[in-house]
Chain A
Amino acid sequence: MSSLFRYLLRHHVFILFILLEVLSLVLVFNYNNYQRSVYLNSSNRITGNIYNAYSKVTNYFSLPRVNQELAAENARLKGLLAQQPGTVQLPENMMQRQPAGEYSFSFVSARLISNSVNRQHNFITLNKGRKDGIKPDQGVISANGVVGVITNVSESFSTGISLLNPRWNISAKLKKNDYFGSLSWDGRDYRFAQLNEIPFHVPLAKGDTIVTSGFSSIFPEGIMLGTIESFEKGGGDNFFVVQVRLSVDFKSVTYVEVIENHHRDEIEQLQKMINDGNNLD
Protein backbone atom coordinates (compact mmCIF):
# COMPACT_ATOMS: atom_id res chain seq x y z
CA MET A 1 0.00 0.00 0.00
CA SER A 2 2.71 2.45 0.97
CA SER A 3 4.77 1.56 -2.10
CA LEU A 4 1.77 2.27 -4.28
CA PHE A 5 1.43 5.59 -2.55
CA ARG A 6 5.11 6.36 -3.08
CA TYR A 7 4.74 5.44 -6.74
CA LEU A 8 1.78 7.77 -7.14
CA LEU A 9 3.65 10.55 -5.38
CA ARG A 10 6.73 10.18 -7.55
CA HIS A 11 4.75 10.23 -10.78
CA HIS A 12 2.10 12.70 -9.68
CA VAL A 13 2.87 15.08 -12.54
CA PHE A 14 2.50 12.43 -15.21
CA ILE A 15 -0.68 11.05 -13.63
CA LEU A 16 -2.19 14.51 -13.38
CA PHE A 17 -1.24 15.09 -17.02
CA ILE A 18 -3.00 11.89 -18.13
CA LEU A 19 -6.01 12.72 -15.95
CA LEU A 20 -6.46 16.24 -17.36
CA GLU A 21 -5.85 15.02 -20.90
CA VAL A 22 -8.48 12.29 -20.54
CA LEU A 23 -10.90 14.82 -19.05
CA SER A 24 -10.41 17.18 -22.02
CA LEU A 25 -10.82 14.42 -24.59
CA VAL A 26 -13.97 13.20 -22.85
CA LEU A 27 -15.27 16.74 -23.26
CA VAL A 28 -14.39 16.62 -26.95
CA PHE A 29 -16.10 13.28 -27.55
CA ASN A 30 -19.16 13.96 -25.46
CA TYR A 31 -19.58 17.16 -27.35
CA ASN A 32 -23.08 16.34 -28.50
CA ASN A 33 -24.28 15.87 -24.93
CA TYR A 34 -22.66 19.10 -23.89
CA GLN A 35 -24.55 21.00 -26.50
CA ARG A 36 -27.47 20.64 -24.15
CA SER A 37 -25.59 22.03 -21.17
CA VAL A 38 -25.72 25.76 -21.02
CA TYR A 39 -22.61 26.48 -18.97
CA LEU A 40 -19.85 25.25 -21.25
CA ASN A 41 -20.71 27.36 -24.27
CA SER A 42 -20.83 30.99 -25.17
CA SER A 43 -24.53 31.49 -24.47
CA ASN A 44 -23.84 31.54 -20.72
CA ARG A 45 -24.19 34.81 -18.92
CA ILE A 46 -20.55 35.87 -18.55
CA THR A 47 -19.33 35.11 -22.06
CA GLY A 48 -22.63 36.27 -23.54
CA ASN A 49 -22.36 39.66 -21.88
CA ILE A 50 -18.70 40.11 -22.85
CA TYR A 51 -19.43 39.30 -26.49
CA ASN A 52 -22.51 41.52 -26.41
CA ALA A 53 -20.63 44.55 -25.07
CA TYR A 54 -17.87 43.98 -27.60
CA SER A 55 -20.21 43.71 -30.57
CA LYS A 56 -22.06 46.84 -29.50
CA VAL A 57 -18.85 48.76 -30.12
CA THR A 58 -17.71 47.02 -33.30
CA ASN A 59 -21.19 47.22 -34.83
CA TYR A 60 -20.71 50.92 -35.53
CA PHE A 61 -17.98 50.13 -38.01
CA SER A 62 -20.23 47.96 -40.14
CA LEU A 63 -23.22 50.31 -40.18
CA PRO A 64 -22.76 51.59 -43.77
CA ARG A 65 -22.70 48.04 -45.13
CA VAL A 66 -25.66 46.97 -42.98
CA ASN A 67 -27.69 49.95 -44.19
CA GLN A 68 -26.96 48.99 -47.75
CA GLU A 69 -28.06 45.40 -47.12
CA LEU A 70 -31.28 46.52 -45.48
CA ALA A 71 -32.05 48.87 -48.34
CA ALA A 72 -31.50 46.06 -50.82
CA GLU A 73 -33.71 43.74 -48.79
CA ASN A 74 -36.44 46.40 -48.66
CA ALA A 75 -36.25 46.86 -52.40
CA ARG A 76 -36.55 43.13 -52.95
CA LEU A 77 -39.58 42.85 -50.67
CA LYS A 78 -41.26 45.82 -52.33
CA GLY A 79 -40.67 44.12 -55.65
CA LEU A 80 -42.36 40.98 -54.36
CA LEU A 81 -45.31 43.00 -53.09
CA ALA A 82 -45.70 44.71 -56.45
CA GLN A 83 -45.92 41.35 -58.17
CA GLN A 84 -48.96 40.38 -56.10
CA PRO A 85 -51.35 43.31 -56.25
CA GLY A 86 -54.43 43.05 -54.08
CA THR A 87 -53.39 40.04 -52.05
CA VAL A 88 -51.29 41.93 -49.52
CA GLN A 89 -52.43 45.44 -48.78
CA LEU A 90 -51.43 46.25 -45.25
CA PRO A 91 -48.21 44.38 -44.67
CA GLU A 92 -47.36 46.18 -41.41
CA ASN A 93 -50.63 45.19 -39.78
CA MET A 94 -50.81 41.72 -41.22
CA MET A 95 -49.08 39.95 -38.36
CA GLN A 96 -51.24 41.49 -35.65
CA ARG A 97 -54.59 41.03 -37.32
CA GLN A 98 -54.33 37.36 -38.11
CA PRO A 99 -53.92 34.72 -35.39
CA ALA A 100 -50.46 33.15 -35.32
CA GLY A 101 -51.84 29.78 -36.22
CA GLU A 102 -52.72 30.99 -39.69
CA TYR A 103 -49.05 31.25 -40.62
CA SER A 104 -46.61 28.38 -40.80
CA PHE A 105 -43.56 30.52 -40.12
CA SER A 106 -42.78 33.61 -38.09
CA PHE A 107 -39.54 35.52 -37.76
CA VAL A 108 -37.59 37.09 -34.89
CA SER A 109 -34.80 39.48 -35.81
CA ALA A 110 -31.51 39.16 -33.94
CA ARG A 111 -27.87 40.21 -34.07
CA LEU A 112 -24.85 37.91 -34.27
CA ILE A 113 -22.54 38.76 -31.38
CA SER A 114 -19.98 36.06 -32.15
CA ASN A 115 -19.17 34.15 -35.31
CA SER A 116 -16.20 32.39 -36.89
CA VAL A 117 -15.22 31.00 -40.28
CA ASN A 118 -11.74 29.58 -39.77
CA ARG A 119 -12.40 26.58 -37.49
CA GLN A 120 -13.37 23.09 -38.44
CA HIS A 121 -16.59 23.50 -36.47
CA ASN A 122 -17.94 27.03 -36.59
CA PHE A 123 -20.57 28.44 -34.28
CA ILE A 124 -22.73 31.52 -33.95
CA THR A 125 -23.91 33.36 -30.84
CA LEU A 126 -27.06 35.53 -30.98
CA ASN A 127 -28.18 38.37 -28.72
CA LYS A 128 -31.70 36.96 -28.30
CA GLY A 129 -32.70 34.11 -26.02
CA ARG A 130 -35.57 32.28 -24.40
CA LYS A 131 -37.34 35.45 -23.30
CA ASP A 132 -37.55 36.51 -26.95
CA GLY A 133 -39.12 33.22 -27.96
CA ILE A 134 -36.00 31.51 -29.33
CA LYS A 135 -35.98 27.71 -29.00
CA PRO A 136 -33.47 25.00 -30.01
CA ASP A 137 -33.73 23.68 -33.60
CA GLN A 138 -34.96 26.94 -35.07
CA GLY A 139 -33.35 28.08 -38.32
CA VAL A 140 -31.23 31.23 -38.66
CA ILE A 141 -31.19 33.17 -41.94
CA SER A 142 -29.86 36.52 -43.11
CA ALA A 143 -31.07 38.66 -45.99
CA ASN A 144 -28.76 36.68 -48.30
CA GLY A 145 -29.64 33.15 -47.23
CA VAL A 146 -29.23 30.37 -44.67
CA VAL A 147 -26.79 31.03 -41.80
CA GLY A 148 -27.29 28.19 -39.31
CA VAL A 149 -29.51 26.55 -36.72
CA ILE A 150 -30.02 27.23 -32.99
CA THR A 151 -28.79 24.54 -30.61
CA ASN A 152 -28.63 26.16 -27.17
CA VAL A 153 -30.76 28.81 -25.54
CA SER A 154 -30.22 30.71 -22.30
CA GLU A 155 -32.38 33.45 -20.86
CA SER A 156 -31.18 36.24 -23.15
CA PHE A 157 -28.62 34.65 -25.50
CA SER A 158 -28.49 31.66 -27.79
CA THR A 159 -25.84 29.72 -29.67
CA GLY A 160 -26.10 27.70 -32.83
CA ILE A 161 -24.23 25.69 -35.40
CA SER A 162 -23.16 27.70 -38.43
CA LEU A 163 -23.62 26.24 -41.91
CA LEU A 164 -19.81 26.08 -41.83
CA ASN A 165 -19.82 23.01 -39.63
CA PRO A 166 -19.37 19.44 -40.93
CA ARG A 167 -21.64 18.17 -38.14
CA TRP A 168 -24.68 19.61 -39.88
CA ASN A 169 -26.28 18.74 -43.24
CA ILE A 170 -29.10 20.70 -44.76
CA SER A 171 -31.65 19.41 -47.25
CA ALA A 172 -31.26 21.40 -50.47
CA LYS A 173 -32.63 21.35 -54.00
CA LEU A 174 -31.99 22.78 -57.45
CA LYS A 175 -34.35 25.69 -57.98
CA LYS A 176 -34.89 25.00 -61.67
CA ASN A 177 -35.96 21.34 -61.51
CA ASP A 178 -36.50 20.48 -57.83
CA TYR A 179 -33.96 17.64 -57.69
CA PHE A 180 -32.82 17.48 -54.08
CA GLY A 181 -29.71 16.45 -52.19
CA SER A 182 -27.93 17.38 -49.00
CA LEU A 183 -25.61 20.33 -48.58
CA SER A 184 -22.70 20.12 -46.17
CA TRP A 185 -19.37 21.82 -45.56
CA ASP A 186 -16.08 19.95 -45.85
CA GLY A 187 -14.08 22.26 -43.56
CA ARG A 188 -11.85 23.80 -46.24
CA ASP A 189 -13.02 27.13 -47.63
CA TYR A 190 -15.65 29.26 -45.92
CA ARG A 191 -17.01 30.47 -49.26
CA PHE A 192 -17.90 27.03 -50.63
CA ALA A 193 -20.04 24.09 -49.50
CA GLN A 194 -20.70 20.75 -51.19
CA LEU A 195 -23.99 19.43 -52.53
CA ASN A 196 -24.22 15.64 -52.46
CA GLU A 197 -26.60 12.95 -53.71
CA ILE A 198 -27.40 14.55 -57.09
CA PRO A 199 -27.49 11.64 -59.59
CA PHE A 200 -25.69 11.73 -62.96
CA HIS A 201 -28.79 12.06 -65.12
CA VAL A 202 -29.72 15.46 -63.66
CA PRO A 203 -28.71 18.30 -65.99
CA LEU A 204 -26.48 20.77 -64.11
CA ALA A 205 -25.00 24.05 -65.21
CA LYS A 206 -22.56 26.47 -63.63
CA GLY A 207 -24.50 29.23 -61.89
CA ASP A 208 -27.63 27.18 -61.11
CA THR A 209 -29.34 28.31 -57.93
CA ILE A 210 -29.50 26.04 -54.88
CA VAL A 211 -32.28 26.68 -52.31
CA THR A 212 -33.63 24.91 -49.23
CA SER A 213 -35.98 22.02 -50.02
CA GLY A 214 -38.48 22.59 -47.22
CA PHE A 215 -38.36 18.90 -46.30
CA SER A 216 -37.00 19.58 -42.83
CA SER A 217 -39.18 21.46 -40.42
CA ILE A 218 -36.38 23.97 -39.71
CA PHE A 219 -36.45 26.08 -42.89
CA PRO A 220 -39.29 27.04 -45.22
CA GLU A 221 -38.91 26.05 -48.85
CA GLY A 222 -36.91 28.21 -51.23
CA ILE A 223 -34.49 30.04 -48.93
CA MET A 224 -31.32 30.90 -50.86
CA LEU A 225 -28.22 28.76 -50.22
CA GLY A 226 -25.90 29.52 -53.12
CA THR A 227 -25.03 28.92 -56.75
CA ILE A 228 -23.17 26.09 -58.45
CA GLU A 229 -19.49 26.94 -58.89
CA SER A 230 -18.33 23.66 -60.43
CA PHE A 231 -19.35 20.00 -60.60
CA GLU A 232 -17.64 16.75 -61.51
CA LYS A 233 -18.36 13.03 -61.50
CA GLY A 234 -16.93 11.56 -58.32
CA GLY A 235 -15.03 8.29 -58.56
CA GLY A 236 -16.96 5.18 -57.56
CA ASP A 237 -20.55 6.20 -56.94
CA ASN A 238 -23.37 7.51 -59.07
CA PHE A 239 -23.53 11.03 -57.74
CA PHE A 240 -22.08 14.34 -58.79
CA VAL A 241 -19.65 16.20 -56.54
CA VAL A 242 -21.00 19.74 -56.70
CA GLN A 243 -19.18 22.81 -55.35
CA VAL A 244 -21.65 25.47 -54.23
CA ARG A 245 -20.64 29.11 -53.79
CA LEU A 246 -22.53 30.19 -50.65
CA SER A 247 -24.72 33.26 -51.00
CA VAL A 248 -24.06 34.40 -47.41
CA ASP A 249 -20.70 36.03 -46.76
CA PHE A 250 -20.02 34.42 -43.40
CA LYS A 251 -17.22 36.84 -42.66
CA SER A 252 -19.51 39.86 -42.60
CA VAL A 253 -22.97 38.59 -41.61
CA THR A 254 -24.36 40.57 -38.64
CA TYR A 255 -28.14 40.91 -38.68
CA VAL A 256 -30.15 37.69 -38.89
CA GLU A 257 -33.67 36.37 -38.47
CA VAL A 258 -34.65 33.31 -36.47
CA ILE A 259 -37.44 31.24 -37.99
CA GLU A 260 -40.12 29.58 -35.96
CA ASN A 261 -42.24 26.92 -37.64
CA HIS A 262 -45.63 26.82 -35.91
CA HIS A 263 -46.39 23.40 -37.35
CA ARG A 264 -43.10 21.81 -36.38
CA ASP A 265 -44.40 19.63 -33.56
CA GLU A 266 -47.17 18.35 -35.78
CA ILE A 267 -44.79 17.50 -38.64
CA GLU A 268 -42.30 15.81 -36.37
CA GLN A 269 -45.02 13.76 -34.70
CA LEU A 270 -46.13 12.49 -38.10
CA GLN A 271 -42.58 11.69 -39.17
CA LYS A 272 -41.99 9.89 -35.88
CA MET A 273 -45.05 7.75 -36.53
CA ILE A 274 -43.61 6.72 -39.89
CA ASN A 275 -40.27 5.84 -38.34
CA ASP A 276 -41.90 3.84 -35.55
CA GLY A 277 -43.99 2.03 -38.14
CA ASN A 278 -40.85 1.09 -40.07
CA ASN A 279 -39.30 -0.35 -36.96
CA LEU A 280 -42.24 -2.66 -36.45
CA ASP A 281 -41.90 -4.66 -39.65
Chain B
Amino acid sequence: MMFVTVVLIQVLLLNQIQFSGFVNPYLYLLFILLLPVSMARYQVLLLSFLLGLTIDVFSNTPGIHASATVFAGFLRSPVIGRLSGRESEINDYPGLKQNGMRWFILYTAVMVILHHFFLFYVEVFTLSRFFATFFRSLASSVFTIFMIVLSQFLIFRD
Protein backbone atom coordinates (compact mmCIF):
# COMPACT_ATOMS: atom_id res chain seq x y z
CA MET B 1 0.00 0.00 0.00
CA MET B 2 2.75 2.37 0.95
CA PHE B 3 4.56 1.25 -2.21
CA VAL B 4 1.68 2.50 -4.35
CA THR B 5 1.45 5.73 -2.33
CA VAL B 6 5.10 6.73 -2.69
CA VAL B 7 5.16 5.81 -6.39
CA LEU B 8 2.07 7.90 -7.13
CA ILE B 9 3.31 10.85 -5.05
CA GLN B 10 6.62 10.65 -6.88
CA VAL B 11 5.45 10.39 -10.50
CA LEU B 12 2.34 12.56 -10.29
CA LEU B 13 3.45 15.26 -7.89
CA LEU B 14 7.20 15.52 -7.41
CA ASN B 15 8.29 14.70 -10.97
CA GLN B 16 6.05 17.51 -12.17
CA ILE B 17 7.45 20.20 -9.87
CA GLN B 18 10.83 20.68 -11.57
CA PHE B 19 11.93 23.37 -9.21
CA SER B 20 14.37 25.76 -10.94
CA GLY B 21 14.92 23.31 -13.76
CA PHE B 22 17.29 20.81 -12.25
CA VAL B 23 16.37 20.04 -8.65
CA ASN B 24 14.04 17.09 -8.24
CA PRO B 25 13.31 15.55 -4.82
CA TYR B 26 13.02 11.75 -4.85
CA LEU B 27 10.69 10.99 -1.96
CA TYR B 28 10.22 7.38 -3.07
CA LEU B 29 13.37 6.45 -1.14
CA LEU B 30 11.21 6.72 2.00
CA PHE B 31 9.76 3.31 1.16
CA ILE B 32 13.19 1.66 1.48
CA LEU B 33 14.03 3.68 4.60
CA LEU B 34 10.92 2.50 6.45
CA LEU B 35 11.14 -1.24 5.73
CA PRO B 36 11.38 -3.18 9.03
CA VAL B 37 14.96 -3.42 10.30
CA SER B 38 14.65 -7.19 10.81
CA MET B 39 13.56 -7.85 7.21
CA ALA B 40 15.89 -10.25 5.37
CA ARG B 41 18.40 -8.37 3.26
CA TYR B 42 17.58 -10.24 0.07
CA GLN B 43 13.95 -9.15 0.47
CA VAL B 44 15.05 -5.55 0.92
CA LEU B 45 17.12 -5.82 -2.26
CA LEU B 46 14.29 -7.31 -4.31
CA LEU B 47 11.79 -4.70 -3.08
CA SER B 48 14.29 -1.92 -3.83
CA PHE B 49 14.75 -3.22 -7.34
CA LEU B 50 11.00 -3.43 -7.87
CA LEU B 51 10.53 0.14 -6.62
CA GLY B 52 13.28 1.51 -8.83
CA LEU B 53 12.00 -0.31 -11.88
CA THR B 54 8.46 1.02 -11.31
CA ILE B 55 9.75 4.59 -11.13
CA ASP B 56 11.82 3.91 -14.26
CA VAL B 57 8.81 2.74 -16.23
CA PHE B 58 6.98 5.95 -15.36
CA SER B 59 9.85 8.27 -16.21
CA ASN B 60 11.21 6.44 -19.28
CA THR B 61 14.63 5.86 -17.74
CA PRO B 62 15.11 2.06 -17.85
CA GLY B 63 17.58 0.92 -15.21
CA ILE B 64 18.72 4.28 -13.86
CA HIS B 65 16.48 4.46 -10.80
CA ALA B 66 16.60 0.68 -10.35
CA SER B 67 20.38 0.66 -10.07
CA ALA B 68 20.31 3.49 -7.53
CA THR B 69 17.60 1.93 -5.34
CA VAL B 70 19.39 -1.44 -5.34
CA PHE B 71 22.55 0.37 -4.28
CA ALA B 72 20.67 2.12 -1.45
CA GLY B 73 18.91 -1.12 -0.44
CA PHE B 74 22.23 -2.94 -0.22
CA LEU B 75 23.84 -0.28 1.98
CA ARG B 76 20.82 0.12 4.27
CA SER B 77 21.76 -2.57 6.75
CA PRO B 78 25.43 -1.48 7.16
CA VAL B 79 24.29 2.12 7.58
CA ILE B 80 21.79 1.19 10.31
CA GLY B 81 24.42 -0.95 12.03
CA ARG B 82 27.03 1.82 11.96
CA LEU B 83 24.63 4.52 13.15
CA SER B 84 23.18 2.71 16.14
CA GLY B 85 26.07 0.89 17.76
CA ARG B 86 24.17 -1.87 19.50
CA GLU B 87 21.45 -3.18 17.26
CA SER B 88 19.14 -4.05 20.14
CA GLU B 89 18.66 -0.40 20.95
CA ILE B 90 16.68 0.59 17.91
CA ASN B 91 13.07 -0.13 17.19
CA ASP B 92 12.22 -2.59 14.42
CA TYR B 93 10.33 0.15 12.60
CA PRO B 94 12.94 2.79 11.74
CA GLY B 95 10.63 5.79 11.97
CA LEU B 96 11.21 9.19 13.52
CA LYS B 97 9.04 8.73 16.61
CA GLN B 98 10.45 5.32 17.42
CA ASN B 99 14.13 6.20 17.30
CA GLY B 100 14.32 9.91 17.95
CA MET B 101 14.77 12.97 15.80
CA ARG B 102 18.56 12.97 15.73
CA TRP B 103 18.92 9.32 14.70
CA PHE B 104 16.29 9.55 11.98
CA ILE B 105 17.69 12.71 10.39
CA LEU B 106 21.19 11.22 10.36
CA TYR B 107 19.91 7.93 8.91
CA THR B 108 17.89 9.76 6.24
CA ALA B 109 20.73 12.09 5.33
CA VAL B 110 23.28 9.31 4.84
CA MET B 111 20.91 7.14 2.79
CA VAL B 112 19.59 10.00 0.64
CA ILE B 113 23.06 11.33 -0.16
CA LEU B 114 24.33 7.84 -1.10
CA HIS B 115 21.30 7.22 -3.30
CA HIS B 116 21.27 10.63 -4.99
CA PHE B 117 24.95 10.70 -5.85
CA PHE B 118 24.75 7.20 -7.35
CA LEU B 119 21.60 8.18 -9.26
CA PHE B 120 22.89 11.43 -10.74
CA TYR B 121 26.25 10.01 -11.76
CA VAL B 122 24.65 7.01 -13.45
CA GLU B 123 22.28 9.41 -15.19
CA VAL B 124 25.02 11.53 -16.80
CA PHE B 125 27.42 8.58 -16.91
CA THR B 126 30.52 10.69 -17.24
CA LEU B 127 32.86 12.50 -14.88
CA SER B 128 33.47 15.29 -17.36
CA ARG B 129 31.00 17.63 -15.65
CA PHE B 130 31.92 16.43 -12.20
CA PHE B 131 31.09 19.59 -10.26
CA ALA B 132 27.86 20.40 -12.09
CA THR B 133 26.58 16.92 -11.24
CA PHE B 134 27.95 17.22 -7.71
CA PHE B 135 25.96 20.37 -7.15
CA ARG B 136 22.79 18.89 -8.64
CA SER B 137 23.07 15.82 -6.38
CA LEU B 138 23.64 17.93 -3.30
CA ALA B 139 20.79 20.36 -3.99
CA SER B 140 18.32 17.55 -4.67
CA SER B 141 19.53 15.66 -1.57
CA VAL B 142 18.76 18.62 0.67
CA PHE B 143 15.24 18.79 -0.73
CA THR B 144 14.63 15.07 -0.39
CA ILE B 145 15.92 14.96 3.20
CA PHE B 146 13.68 17.88 4.09
CA MET B 147 10.63 16.22 2.50
CA ILE B 148 11.26 12.82 4.09
CA VAL B 149 11.63 14.31 7.57
CA LEU B 150 8.56 16.45 6.99
CA SER B 151 6.58 13.40 5.83
CA GLN B 152 7.22 11.81 9.22
CA PHE B 153 5.21 14.58 10.83
CA LEU B 154 2.46 14.68 8.22
CA ILE B 155 1.51 11.36 6.62
CA PHE B 156 3.56 8.27 7.41
CA ARG B 157 3.40 8.81 11.16
CA ASP B 158 2.67 5.39 12.59
> A interface vs B, CB < 8 Å?
12-14, 16-17, 20-21, 23-31, 34, 40-42, 44, 47, 50, 54, 116-121, 123, 125, 159, 187-191, 251
Choose from B18, B60, B123 the contact partner of A251 (Cβ within 8 Å).
Answer: B18
Q: Is B49 an interface residue (CB 8 A)?
A: yes
A190 touches B21 (CB 8 A): yes
A44–B48 Cα distance when bound, in Å, is: 22
Chain B interface residue count, CB cutoff 8 Å, equals 36
- Give the complex CA separation of A200 and B122 in angstroms: 36
In whole angstroms, what is the CA distance A125 to B46 when docked? 29
| A-binding residues in B (CB < 8 A) | 8, 11-12, 15, 18, 21-24, 41-42, 45-46, 48-49, 52-53, 56-64, 66-67, 70-71, 74, 122-125, 132
Residues of B within 8 A of A29 (CB): 63
Inter-chain contact A20/B62, CB cutoff 8 Å: no
The distance in angstroms between the C-alpha atoms of A176 and B45, with both chains bound, is 58
Instruction: Please tell me if the beta carbons of A12 and B42 are within 8 angstroms of each other in the complex.
Output: yes
Interface centre among B42, B48, B56, B63 (most CB of A within 10 A): B63
Give CA–CA (A189, B124) in the complex, Å. 14
Contact between chains at B63 and A41 (CB < 8 Å): no
A28 to B67, Cβ gap below 8 A? Answer: yes
Give, as a whole number of angstroms, the nearest-CB distance from A33 to chain B. 10
With A24-B67, A190-B21 in contact, do A17 and B62 touch (Cβ < 8 Å)?
A: no
* Given A20-B45, A24-B49, A121:B61 Cβ within 8 A: yes
Known contacts A17-B70, A116-B18, A117-B21: does B41 contact A42 (CB below 8 Å)? no
Contact at B18–A42, with CB atoms within 8 Å? no
